[in-house]
């Protein structure tokens, strides 16, 4: 239990920087890499400057499997943290239903977030019985095809602008001994089907499958094309050409060893760290260049209900942090470093690079719910198992893939 | 006549600690030799060298005329019985006995014949199917002896085999080992620190101290003619009485104790005739050789002494007195009732005692 | 009468004559087949064991470009120690960039009490199970052994609830309790089997002298259990020092063990891993158990020697 | 506190029932007090957890243990999941090899170390150091070494030995043996230490007796010393066995279950579904199946080993 003997003084007006008593607020998150740490440091800086409270950082790597057990244990153990980051999605659903997460609706109304939120659908996973329990702070999208300019210079073809052109260039690439599709082992394959679904399948199919969980849509012809695209990728990828980490794929693309790869926008962070310049060293094709809407998810912040006896100053610090996380200044500083898209429409993103600008244009057409966003973690895990199995075992035919995908969507809740 | 076991100029040192020094020992065929001495005198080390479990630092070992110095224990024709019996705990008695033979790939019927013969001799036939943990100390020891027996060895080596047993069992097994020796007529080398075992079992006893054999002789000679003060003091319980004083040589040799008491020693068989001069020496006489009361008068030397402490031992009584300022103990028949403080006449024949030269502590 | 092994059938070879004049210690040539076999097996075993360490150490002294483009087995061209310094002092573990150092003392604070408490309780268990067998003690022991097979992740939530009811969740006591629970099956088995191997007369003699349960334990059993105590210590210090999940969940934020910093440095899912810093950080974290092994090596031999003499 | 002496018990003399009760509670009272922590752990934690696991495996609880009863639904789903079935067969294959090799190499190395060789302390530390390093990174190093392009195979081929293939890590049929190489590297050292402690506990005179009996050294180790080390062997088997059943870090660090699901293991399934997928009921169903198989093996063996004869092993 945190015991602070501090006289409770009602905080002065929001954003007042002269909070009488500074409180410590523990924030857990799994942004442990260099790029991510720099981004979360922005949040901490703005929080400490504007409120005088101190941000106690307790980073826990390992994303879902690594951090979830700790976050959940701490909450049900009665020693919750001040605030925690989790994927925008239905991971924390039950925690909200169990009344362990603090209701943020009054803060939301005070700031009337509907005005500036880029897409109301982002708030859906956070709302339960009409009340809001979390604030999404960024938008990440898997919907990117990264292409190597060096690879295409070597085979003397222009850099493709759509998925079909890219697939067409594979034979030439293979002759030149260039890996048509770079891939890392483990979870990175799990995001690829979602991207193919929105690119090849189109927005209606995404909504039908992810949101409505319509089994017939999965058995339909459009989804079959998605499955065939997966089969095509499987044919050019083999276990011994896969690399340990997705950052290594980034290096392969810059070096021209691999022609292209489907991965989330956070790969840009690594491409830039490795000295890549968008437009010169690599190209980025949002939604495979075939759809005008991006599927997306992202990270959100939850504020656990603190046990009674916690000094009100800490509760006050929670409220202020919630407001700051979605304030224009913090949003700009954080998302630029993180390489994700802010959730506010009124943020000047002129400094963002070319790829980010493309994404912002597409964002105006509204956000499609990605798998992480709309499906329960249980369903996501089953789909990930299916995709990993399909990739690693050629005996699974496209029909098996479609059938098993359908049965998973059928039992999805 | 070829020796069963002969050790020539054997020495052994652990690092720079000298444990055995230039030791020589010849053992005749079928002889029962006991290596006797306090713990740490090197008797067990010597036994281990003979067995081949320890590499000697110098010298040679012969068994049945064959130089076995570099041989493995199994090729020396020896069997060994250990203080902790060292039976293979997980094997039945029958397997314990036959395991060595089966490893040497001996035919089955020959193995069975030997096991049967050994278990008959040692009366352990009913135990063959049992595990060592189910046997008593005595039974375990017999199985350990059986293990050497089945291999038809030339020499049996015993390393304090009875010290883990209780007193009664110890005397039973002692008799059994003696009977075994008479029946098998094998050479046996027996290590112990218990002098009763040594005196009762041995054809010859080697008293050892600091890695050197002090005396090698039959029990009677060791008991009656100890070569030096150490051997005299070690054998016999209660131990021998020692009177310090001076030996006056000449035709009428006499021993003058420190306080002046004069004891005629004419009847003593001197190794070398005393040469008339006075030699500082020690006169040793065993409590059992001291006559009390009437019988004392017949002794060449008798005197009055005052009894300080009396210890009735059942079969006889032990008395502690003072003679020439030094304690004198003697053993009296239990009928003679002695009381503390009583003065009594005691006497002894120096001829049965021993005289040692204080300087060399050797027998004169 | 005697049946000593017959002289080998081959004619009296040179070694036969030498044997006749044999004197003093048996000449053991430097290269006996036995020694050759032993040392060659040990040599290849060491190669197998040390090869990964070689890769780790060379990588930890390379710069990132050299790792990315060079061969992992090649020694560093221009070795630099900055990966080590960075790992200890400045590697980013989330917001704070202080490397592994903040967690070091927390790890010590967790490991030392947990090791001692868990070993002590297990020793008492082993001793009670063997010498003071009471009704049902064997059933408890069987369930305990069964307990060592339960995957620890499954027991996370129940343990959280138990420690919450005890009011010690999020404190050092919670993590000590958890490590004692998880160490108990194997450690109890270790001590139980060791005490079973001691001669039973020792215990009976003490009972005859009227010594009670605790006096026999402290004055006779514990001093004799040095060899198995060393083995138990190696097991526990390694397990607790390298543990991440229980340290993070039960110890509370102010007691985060060093493995949290290590995990954050090494296991960052999103960003590009700095392999040289990861290697350096792992070796640094592993130093404490390694030192314990080396020190315990001496204790191990002396303990064992004491144990053997008792036979 | 000294035990109840016989006289006190007789003076009580209030019929056999009280003596029976006294016998249960007061006899070895201090032993029972001393063993109280163990009994509490066994009842509350191990038995309690198992019941908790089994109970919630019959519910549909997702993130928090709170769902309602759904009978065998979780189990039906479990047995229909190919990843689970592959995990179980993987564990059986890997487990068998790992147990046999760890025990054999552990004993062989312990015997070698028992030969009064020089640098014994150095050799022992070399074999034991892997046990000290956290597996997240050492797994990565093995991943590099066995990676077809980065590691051994790539280097050998660059050196001209083009035919050299060592692609176990990415070959679905061989990946379990790649796990075995790294697993043995980490686990053999400690088993060797355990067995060395056992060897050194053997009474020296047993060795002398065997030598006098003409039994060659290797035969003495196998037929005499090994059976005497029963206690240590049992401890080693339980240690290695529980390590195999709980196998998780090695797989996550080295292959993360790949290629495909060729090296998936049950504990990873349990962990992924309990926390990653936020479906503890499915995770607990998997864990219960693991515990069931362990129970079928352990109970009869433990009964034979400890309970049955009741004599001092």
Q: Taking 60 as the threshold, does the pLDDT of residue A266 lie above it?
A: yes
Quote the radius of gyration of chain A (alpha carbons, Å): 22
User: Which chain D residues have a beta carbon less than 8 Å from that of A186?
Assistant: 256-258
A172-190 pLDDT, tens digit per residue, is 888 988 889 999 877 788 8
Dihedral sign (CA B148, B149, B152, B157)? positive
The gap between the terminal CA atoms of chain B, to the nearest Å, is 32
- DSSP-derived secondary structure letter, D224: I
Domain with A330, as residue range(s), is 24-139+298-344
Give me C171's structure tokens: 């404190």
Contacts of C235 (CB under 8 A, 6+ apart): C183, C186, C187, C190, D190
User: Which chain B residues have a beta carbon less than 8 Å from that of D203?
Assistant: 84, 86
- Please state, in angstroms and as integers, the Cα–Cα distance from residue C27 to each residue in B71, C19, C22, following that order: 12, 11, 9
In this structure, are strands A179-181 and B204-209 parallel, antiparallel, or unpaired? unpaired
The answer on A149 and A59 residing in a single domain is no
Residue A19: inside a domain, yes or no?
Answer: no
Question: Residue C128's Cα: distance from chain center in Å?
Answer: 25
D44-64 pLDDT, tens digit per residue, is 999 998 999 999 999 988 888
Q: Taking 70 as the threshold, does the pLDDT of residue D5 lie above it?
A: no
Q: Taking 50 as the threshold, does the pLDDT of residue A288 lie above it?
A: yes
Question: What's the whole-number mean pLDDT along residues C202-219?
Answer: 83
What residue ranges do the domains of chain C occupy?
A: 33-80, 105-255+291-309
Question: Residue D310's Cα: distance from chain center in Å?
Answer: 24
CA separation for the pair C14, D264 (Å, rounded): 63
Q: Specify whether the CB–CB gap between B17 and B186 falls below 8 A.
A: no
- DSSP-derived secondary structure letter, D148: T
Question: What's the whole-number mean pLDDT along residues A372-389?
Answer: 87
Question: Could you tell me what percent of chain B has a pLDDT over 90?
Answer: 22
Q: Tell me the CATH number of domain C105-255+291-309, given options 1.10.3720.10, 1.10.10.10, 3.40.190.80, 3.30.70.20.
A: 1.10.3720.10
- Please state, in angstroms and as integers, the Cα–Cα distance from residue D52 to each residue in C140, C148, C296, D74, following that order: 19, 17, 40, 15
C43-101 pLDDT, tens digit per residue, is 999 999 999 999 888 988 988 888 877 788 888 888 888 888 888 888 777 777 788 88
Nearest chain A residue (CA) to C97: A37
Weakest mean pLDDT among A298-307, A367-376, C119-128: A367-376
Helix (H, G, I), strand (E, B) or coil at B305: strand
Q: Taking 90 as the threshold, does the pLDDT of residue D105 lie above it?
A: yes
Peptide bond between residue B238 and the one before it cis (omega within 30 degrees of 0): yes
Q: Tell me the pLDDT of chain B averaged across its residues.
A: 86
- Please state, in angstroms and as integers, the Cα–Cα distance from residue D285 to each residue in A380, C228, D50, D289, following that order: 19, 37, 11, 6
User: Which chain D residues have a beta carbon less than 8 Å from that of A241?
Assistant: 149
User: Which chain C residues have a beta carbon less than 8 Å from that of D46?
Assistant: 143-144, 146-147, 150
CA separation for the pair A144, A284 (Å, rounded): 7
Q: Taking 90 as the threshold, does the pLDDT of residue C141 lie above it?
A: no
Give me A284's structure tokens: 């980025």
A143-179 pLDDT, tens digit per residue, is 889 999 988 888 888 888 888 899 999 998 889 888 8
Q: What is the DSSP string of C114-130?
A: HHHHHHHHHHHHHHHHH
| Sheet (strand B66-67) strand order | B17-27, B5-14, B58-63, B66-67
CA separation for the pair C282, C83 (Å, rounded): 12
The answer on A195 and A59 residing in a single domain is no
Give me A162's structure tokens: 């759509």
Contacts of C153 (CB under 8 A, 6+ apart): A69, C245, D248, D267, D270, D271, D274, D275, D283
Domain with D262, as residue range(s), is 83-308
Name the band, by pLDDT with cuts 50, 70 and 90, for residue D278: confident
Provide the b/e sequence for C206-230 (b: ≥16 CB within 10 Å).
beeeebebeebbeebbeebbbbbbb
Determine which of C5, C24, C196, C197 to mutate to test the interface with B (most B C-beta atoms within 10 Å).
C24
Count of alpha carbons within 13 angstroms of residue C211, beta-carbon side: 16
Q: Taking 90 as the threshold, does the pLDDT of residue B157 lie above it?
A: yes
CA separation for the pair B240, B232 (Å, rounded): 7
A90-143 pLDDT, tens digit per residue, is 778 888 888 889 898 888 888 888 888 878 888 888 888 888 898 888 888 888
Helix (H, G, I), strand (E, B) or coil at A293: coil
Question: What's the whole-number mean pLDDT along residues A354-380?
Answer: 84
Helix (H, G, I), strand (E, B) or coil at A78: coil
A-to-D residue pairs, Cβ atoms closer than 8 angstroms: 97
Q: Taking 60 as the threshold, does the pLDDT of residue A28 lie above it?
A: yes
C231-252 pLDDT, tens digit per residue, is 889 889 988 998 888 888 898 8
Q: Is A61 in contact with C264 (Cβ distance < 8 A)?
A: yes
For residue C6, the model assigns a pLDDT of 41
Q: Which CATH architecture has domain B5-233?
A: 3-Layer(aba) Sandwich (3.40)
The answer on A274 and A168 residing in a single domain is yes
Give me A209's structure tokens: 């499958």
Q: Specify whether the CB–CB gap between D205 and B86 falls below 8 A.
A: yes
Q: Is C52 in contact with D138 (Cβ distance < 8 A)?
A: yes
CA separation for the pair B308, A225 (Å, rounded): 120
Residue D2: inside a domain, yes or no?
Answer: no
User: Which chain C residues have a beta carbon less than 8 Å from that of D41?
Assistant: 144, 147, 180-181, 184
For residue C115, the model assigns a pLDDT of 95
Q: Which of D140-149, D285-294, D296-305 has the highest mean pLDDT?
A: D285-294
A-to-C residue pairs, Cβ atoms closer than 8 angstroms: 117
Question: Could you tell me what percent of chain D has a pLDDT over 90?
Answer: 36
- Please state, in angstroms and as integers, the Cα–Cα distance from residue C129 to each residue in C218, C232, D236, D311, following that order: 16, 17, 19, 12
Q: Taking 60 as the threshold, does the pLDDT of residue A16 lie above it?
A: no
Which chains have at least 3 CB atom pairs separated by less than 8 Å from chain B? C, D
Q: What is the DSSP string of B246-300?
A: EEE-SSS-EEEETTS-EEE-TTS--SS---SSEEEEEEEE-GGG-EETHHHHTSS
Residue D104: inside a domain, yes or no?
Answer: yes
Between residues B27 and D159, the one the model is more confident about? B27
Contacts of C29 (CB under 8 A, 6+ apart): none
Name the band, by pLDDT with cuts 50, 70 and 90, for residue C5: very low
CA separation for the pair D241, D103 (Å, rounded): 11
Chains C and B touch (3+ CB pairs under 8 A): yes
CA separation for the pair A343, A328 (Å, rounded): 9
Q: Taking 50 as the threshold, does the pLDDT of residue B227 lie above it?
A: yes
Number of domains in chain A: 2
For residue A34, the model assigns a pLDDT of 66
CA separation for the pair D28, D40 (Å, rounded): 18
Give me B93's structure tokens: 């008695």
Q: Taking 70 as the threshold, does the pLDDT of residue A255 lie above it?
A: yes
Chains A and B touch (3+ CB pairs under 8 A): no
- Backbone angles phi and psi of A365, in degrees to 5: -85, 5
The maximal CA–CA distance of chain A, rounded, in angstroms, is 74
Determine which of D171, D173, D260 to mutate to test the interface with A (most A C-beta atoms within 10 Å).
D260
For residue C152, the model assigns a pLDDT of 83
For residue D56, the model assigns a pLDDT of 92
Q: Taking 90 as the threshold, does the pLDDT of residue D78 lie above it?
A: yes
| Sheet (strand B204-209) strand order | B78-81, B155-159, B187-192, B32-36, B204-209, B212-217
- DSSP-derived secondary structure letter, A184: B
For residue C295, the model assigns a pLDDT of 83
Number of domains in chain D: 1
For residue C151, the model assigns a pLDDT of 84
Provide the b/e sequence for C155-168 (b: ≥16 CB within 10 Å).
bbbbbbbbbbeeeb
The CATH number for A129's domain is 3.40.190.10
CA separation for the pair A144, A263 (Å, rounded): 6
Peptide bond between residue C37 and the one before it cis (omega within 30 degrees of 0): no
Residue A336: inside a domain, yes or no?
Answer: yes
For residue C19, the model assigns a pLDDT of 67
CA separation for the pair D68, C221 (Å, rounded): 51
Question: Residue C265's Cα: distance from chain center in Å?
Answer: 24
Residue A11: inside a domain, yes or no?
Answer: no
Q: Give which of A366, A224, A196, A205 is closest to A285, Cα–Cα.
A: A196
Weakest mean pLDDT among B81-90, B218-227, C247-256, D12-21: D12-21
Q: Is B64 in contact with C2 (Cβ distance < 8 A)?
A: yes
For Cα atoms C133, C135, C141, give the angle at the middle one, nearest 5 degrees.
65
Contacts of D53 (CB under 8 A, 6+ apart): C150, C154, D284, D287, D288, D291
Question: What's the whole-number mean pLDDT along residues C183-194?
Answer: 90
For residue A20, the model assigns a pLDDT of 54
Q: Specify whether the CB–CB gap between A296 and A370 falls below 8 A.
A: yes
Q: Tell me the pLDDT of chain D averaged across its residues.
A: 84
Count of alpha carbons within 13 angstroms of residue A59, beta-carbon side: 31
**Alpha-carbon dihedral A43, A44, A46, A48, rounded to 10 degrees:** 160
Q: Specify whether the CB–CB gap between B68 and B61 falls below 8 A.
A: yes
Q: Is C270 in contact with A76 (Cβ distance < 8 A)?
A: no
Weakest mean pLDDT among A41-45, B261-265, C11-15, D109-113: C11-15
Nearest chain C residue (CA) to B7: C23
Q: Taking 70 as the threshold, does the pLDDT of residue D273 lie above it?
A: yes
Q: Is A389 in contact with D260 (Cβ distance < 8 A)?
A: yes
Question: What's the whole-number mean pLDDT along residues B267-286?
Answer: 78
For residue C11, the model assigns a pLDDT of 45
In this structure, are strands B241-248 and B254-257 parallel, antiparallel, or unpaired? antiparallel
Residue D263: inside a domain, yes or no?
Answer: yes
For Cα atoms C259, C261, C267, give the angle at the middle one, nearest 5 degrees.
85
The answer on A387 and A283 residing in a single domain is yes
What residue ranges do the domains of chain B occupy?
A: 5-233, 239-357
The answer on A247 and A161 residing in a single domain is yes
By Cβ distance, the residue of C42, C162, C292 closest to D44 is: C162
The CATH number for D211's domain is 1.10.3720.10
Determine which of C272, C274, C281 to mutate to test the interface with A (most A C-beta atoms within 10 Å).
C272
Question: Residue B131's Cα: distance from chain center in Å?
Answer: 33
By Cβ distance, the residue of D30, D47, D144 closest to C72 is: D144
pTM over 0.90: no
- Please state, in angstroms and as integers, the Cα–Cα distance from residue A125 to each residue in A254, A325, A326, A383, C241, following that order: 37, 18, 17, 20, 39
**CATH number attached to the domain at B239-357:** 2.40.50.140
Q: Give which of D56, D263, D242 is closest to D171, Cα–Cα.
A: D263
Q: Taking 60 as the threshold, does the pLDDT of residue C145 lie above it?
A: yes
CA separation for the pair B232, B224 (Å, rounded): 9
Provide the b/e sequence for A20-57 (b: ≥16 CB within 10 Å).
ebebebbbbbbbbbbbbbbbbbbbbbbbeebbbbebbb
For residue C215, the model assigns a pLDDT of 85
The answer on A270 and A184 residing in a single domain is yes
CA separation for the pair D207, D214 (Å, rounded): 11
User: Which chain B residues have a beta carbon less than 8 Å from that of D216?
Assistant: 103
Packing angle, helices C172-197 and C226-241, rounded to 10: 150
Question: What's the whole-number mean pLDDT along residues A323-331?
Answer: 88
């Amino acid at each position: 239990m945190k015991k602070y003997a501090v006289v409770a003084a009602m905080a002065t007006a929001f954003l007042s920087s002269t909070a009488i008593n500074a409180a410590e607020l523990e924030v857990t998150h799994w942004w442990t890499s260099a790029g991510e740490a720099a981004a979360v440091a922005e949040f901490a800086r703005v929080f400490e400057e504007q409120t005088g409270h101190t941000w106690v950082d307790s980073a826990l790597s390992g994303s879902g499997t690594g951090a979830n057990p700790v976050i959940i244990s701490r909450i049900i153990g009665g020693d919750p943290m001040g605030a925690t980051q989790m994927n925008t999605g239905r991971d924390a659903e039950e925690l909200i239903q169990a009344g362990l997460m603090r209701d943020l609706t009054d803060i939301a109304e005070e700031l009337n977030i509907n005005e500036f939120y880029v897409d109301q659908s982002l708030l859906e996973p956070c709302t339960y019985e009409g009340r809001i329990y979390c604030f999404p702070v960024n938008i990440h999208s898997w919907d990117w095809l990264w292409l190597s300019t060096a690879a295409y210079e070597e085979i003397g073809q222009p850099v493709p602008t759509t998925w079909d052109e890219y697939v067409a260039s594979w034979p030439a690439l293979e002759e030149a001994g260039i890996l048509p599709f770079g891939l890392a082992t483990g979870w990175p394959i799990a995001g690829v089907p979602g991207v193919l679904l929105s690119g090849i399948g189109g927005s209606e199919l995404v909504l039908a499958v992810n949101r409505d969980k319509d089994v017939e849509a999965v058995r339909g012809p459009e989804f079959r094309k998605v499955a065939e695209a997966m089969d095509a990728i499987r044919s050019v990828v083999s276990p011994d050409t896969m690399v340990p980490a997705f950052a290594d794929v980034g290096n392969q693309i810059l070096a021209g060893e691999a022609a292209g790869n489907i991965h989330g926008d956070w790969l840009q962070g690594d491409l830039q760290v490795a000295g890549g310049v968008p437009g010169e060293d690599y190209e980025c094709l949002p939604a495979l260049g075939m759809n005008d809407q991006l599927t997306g998810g992202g990270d959100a912040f939850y504020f656990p209900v603190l046990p009674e006896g916690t000094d009100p100053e800490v509760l006050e610090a929670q409220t202020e942090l919630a407001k700051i996380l979605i304030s224009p200044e913090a949003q700009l500083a954080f998302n630029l470093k993180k390489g994700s898209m802010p959730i506010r429409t009124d943020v000047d993103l002129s400094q963002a690079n070319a790829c980010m600008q493309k994404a912002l244009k597409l964002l105006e057409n509204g956000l499609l719910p990605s798998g992480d966003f709309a499906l329960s973690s249980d369903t996501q895990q089953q789909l990930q198992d299916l995709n990993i199995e399909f990739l690693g075992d050629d005996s699974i035919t496209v029909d098996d893939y479609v059938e098993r995908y359908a049965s998973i969507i059928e039992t999805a809740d | 006549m070829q020796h069963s076991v002969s050790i020539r100029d054997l020495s052994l040192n652990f690092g720079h600690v000298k444990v055995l020094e230039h030791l020589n020992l010849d053992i005749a065929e079928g002889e029962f030799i006991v290596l006797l001495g306090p713990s740490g005198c090197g008797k067990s080390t010597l036994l281990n060298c003979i067995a081949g479990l320890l590499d000697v630092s110098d010298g040679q070992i012969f068994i049945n005329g064959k130089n076995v110095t570099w041989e493995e224990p199994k090729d020396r024709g020896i069997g060994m019985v250990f203080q902790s019996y060292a039976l293979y705990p997980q094997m039945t008695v029958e397997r314990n006995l036959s395991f060595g033979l089966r490893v040497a790939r001996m035919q089955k019927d020959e193995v069975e014949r030997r096991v049967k013969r050994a278990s008959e001799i040692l009366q352990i036939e009913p135990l063959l199917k049992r595990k060592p943990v189910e046997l008593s100390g005595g039974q375990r020891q017999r199985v350990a002896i059986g293990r050497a027996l089945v291999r038809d060895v030339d020499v049996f080596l015993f390393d304090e085999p009875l010290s883990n047993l209780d007193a009664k069992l110890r005397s039973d097994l002692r008799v059994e080992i003696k009977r075994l020796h008479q029946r098998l007529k094998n050479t046996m080398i027996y290590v112990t620190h218990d002098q009763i075992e040594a005196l009762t079992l041995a054809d010859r006893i080697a008293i050892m101290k600091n890695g050197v054999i002090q005396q090698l002789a039959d029990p009677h000679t060791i008991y009656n003619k100890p070569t030096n003060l150490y051997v005299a003091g070690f054998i016999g319980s209660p131990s021998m009485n020692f009177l310090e004083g001076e030996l006056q040589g000449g035709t009428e040799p006499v021993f003058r104790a420190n306080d002046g008491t004069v004891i005629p020693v004419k009847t003593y068989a001197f190794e070398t005739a005393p040469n008339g001069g006075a030699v500082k020496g020690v006169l040793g006489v065993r409590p059992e050789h001291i006559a009390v009361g009437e019988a004392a008068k017949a002794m060449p030397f008798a005197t009055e002494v005052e009894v300080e402490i009396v210890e009735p031992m059942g079969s006889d009584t032990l008395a502690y007195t003072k003679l020439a300022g030094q304690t004198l103990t003697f053993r009296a028949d239990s009928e003679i009732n002695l009381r503390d403080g009583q003065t009594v006449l005691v006497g002894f024949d120096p001829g049965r005692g021993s005289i040692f030269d204080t300087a060399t502590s050797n027998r004169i | 009468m005697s049946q000593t092994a017959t002289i080998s059938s081959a004619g009296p070879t040179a070694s036969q004559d030498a044997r006749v004049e044999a004197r003093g210690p048996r000449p053991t040539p430097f290269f006996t087949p036995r020694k050759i076999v032993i040392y060659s097996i040990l040599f290849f075993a060491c190669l197998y064991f040390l090869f990964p360490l070689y890769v780790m150490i060379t990588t930890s002294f390379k710069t990132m470009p050299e790792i990315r483009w060079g061969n992992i087995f090649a020694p560093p061209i221009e070795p630099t120690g900055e990966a080590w310094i960075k790992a200890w002092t400045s590697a980013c573990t989330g917001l704070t960039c202080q490397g592994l150092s903040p967690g070091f003392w927390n790890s010590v604070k967790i490991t030392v009490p947990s090791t001692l408490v868990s070993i002590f309780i297990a020793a008492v268990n082993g001793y009670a199970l063997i010498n003071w067998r009471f009704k049902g003690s064997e059933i408890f022991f069987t369930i305990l052994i069964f307990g060592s097979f339960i995957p620890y992740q499954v027991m996370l939530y129940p343990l959280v609830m138990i420690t919450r009811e005890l009011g010690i969740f999020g404190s050092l006591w919670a993590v000590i309790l958890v490590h004692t629970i998880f160490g108990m099956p194997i450690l109890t088995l270790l001590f139980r089997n060791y005490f079973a191997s001691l001669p039973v007369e020792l215990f009976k003699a003490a009972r005859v002298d009227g010594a009670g349960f605790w006096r026999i334990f402290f004055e006779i059993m514990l001093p004799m259990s040095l060899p198995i105590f060393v083995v138990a210590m190696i097991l526990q210090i390694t397990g607790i020092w390298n543990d991440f999940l229980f340290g993070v969940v039960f110890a509370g934020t102010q007691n985060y063990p060093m493995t949290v910093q290590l995990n954050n440095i090494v296991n960052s899912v999103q960003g590009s891993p700095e392999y040289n810093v990861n290697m350096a950080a792992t070796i640094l974290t592993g130093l404490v158990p390694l030192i314990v092994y080396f020190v315990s090596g001496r204790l191990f031999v002396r303990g064992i020697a004491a144990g053997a003499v008792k036979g | 506190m000294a035990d109840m002496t016989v006289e006190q018990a007789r003076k009580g003399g209030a019929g056999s029932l009280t003596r029976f009760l006294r016998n249960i509670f007061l006899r070895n009272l201090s032993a029972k007090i001393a063993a109280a922590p163990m009994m509490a752990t066994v009842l509350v934690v191990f038995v309690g957890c198992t019941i908790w696991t089994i109970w919630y495996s019959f519910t549909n609880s997702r993130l928090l243990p709170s769902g309602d009863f759904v009978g065998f639904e979780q189990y039906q789903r479990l047995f229909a999941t190919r990843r689970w079935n592959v995990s179980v067969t993987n564990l059986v294959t890997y487990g068998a090899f790992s147990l046999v090799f760890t025990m054999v190499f552990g004993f062989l190395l312990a015997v070698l170390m028992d030969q009064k060789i020089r640098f014994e302390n150095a050799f022992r530390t070399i074999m034991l150091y892997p046990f000290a390093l956290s597996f997240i990174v050492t797994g990565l190093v093995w991943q590099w070494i066995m990676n077809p392009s980065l590691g051994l195979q790539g280097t050998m081929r660059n050196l001209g030995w083009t035919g050299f293939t060592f692609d176990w890590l990415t070959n679905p049929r061989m990946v379990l043996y790649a796990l075995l190489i790294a697993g043995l590297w980490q686990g053999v050292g400690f088993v060797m230490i355990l067995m060395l402690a056992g060897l050194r506990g053997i009474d020296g005179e047993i060795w002398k007796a065997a030598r006098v009996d003409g039994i060659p050294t290797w035969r003495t180790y196998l037929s005499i010393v090994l059976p005497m080390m029963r206690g240590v062997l049992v401890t080693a088997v339980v240690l290695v066995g529980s390590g195999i059943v709980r196998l998780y870090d090695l797989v996550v660090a080295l292959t993360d279950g790949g290629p495909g699901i060729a090296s998936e293991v049950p504990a990873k399934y349990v962990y992924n579904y309990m926390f990653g997928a936020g479906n503890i009921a499915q995770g607990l169903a998997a864990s219960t199946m693991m515990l069931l198989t362990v129970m079928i093996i352990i109970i009869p063996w433990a009964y034979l080993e400890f309970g049955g004869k009741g004599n001092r092993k």
